[in-house]
């Protein structure tokens, strides 16, 4: 099963990290990433750019409204993610507990990533997606 670990933090948590040496942070995360790789569970891991560089597409009206960042409250945003291929939600939780960027205001949300096999296989759009995934080596 695949699980996404979504990294979240409050304004205060981000502010507390501002004085952290960047190279030390990279080394700390690198060691954790290396553990995930050695365990064979890492599928993907990415950090996200500053929310101020992003945009939001709001579908509340027609046409949709695009708003430049920053937007929302930091607690609504996430700063990066991991996708792990593990045997259970409990195993994903155990990996999340080992995540090295921790402290007050930091949280990790864990959500299972659904698979194409969970959708109706007789649906034309699912069949097209399955063919694409097979052609690109994803299945």
Element (H, E) at 96: helix 89-97
Element (H, E) at 83: strand 80-85
d(CA 6, CA 26): 18
Write down the pLDDT at residue 122. Answer: 95
Structural domain count, the chain: 1
Strand partners, 9: 106
The CATH number of residue 116's host domain is 3.30.70.1060
d(CA 14, CA 68): 21
Read off the pLDDT of residues 12-31 as tens digits, 9 standing for 90 and up: 887 888 888 888 988 999 99
Write down the pLDDT at residue 96. Answer: 94
Read off the pLDDT of residues 100-113 as tens digits, 9 standing for 90 and up: 888 888 889 999 99
d(CA 80, CA 82): 7
What dihedral angle (degrees, nearest 10) is formed by the CA atoms of 47, 52, 54, 60? 130
d(CA 17, CA 74): 14
Q: What are phi and psi of 9, to 5 degrees?
A: -155, 150
Question: Is the pLDDT score of 39 beyond 90?
Answer: yes
For 90, the domain range is 2-135
d(CA 56, CA 35): 34
């Amino acid at each position: 099963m695949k699980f996404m670990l979504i990294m979240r933090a409050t304004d205060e948590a981000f502010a507390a990290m501002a004085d952290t040496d960047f190279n030390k942070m990279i080394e700390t995360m690198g060691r954790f990433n290396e553990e995930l790789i050695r365990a064979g569970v890492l599928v993907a891991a990415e950090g996200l750019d500053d929310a101020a560089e992003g945009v939001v597409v709001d579908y509340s009206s027609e046409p949709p409204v695009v708003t430049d960042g920053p937007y929302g409250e930091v607690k609504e945003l996430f700063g990066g993610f991991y996708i792990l291929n593990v045997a259970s939600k409990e195993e994903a939780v155990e990996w999340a507990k080992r995540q090295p960027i921790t402290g007050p205001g930091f949280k990790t949300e864990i959500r299972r990533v659904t698979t194409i096999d969970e959708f109706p296989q007789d649906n034309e759009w699912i069949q097209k997606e399955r063919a694409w995934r097979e052609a690109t080596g994803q299945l």
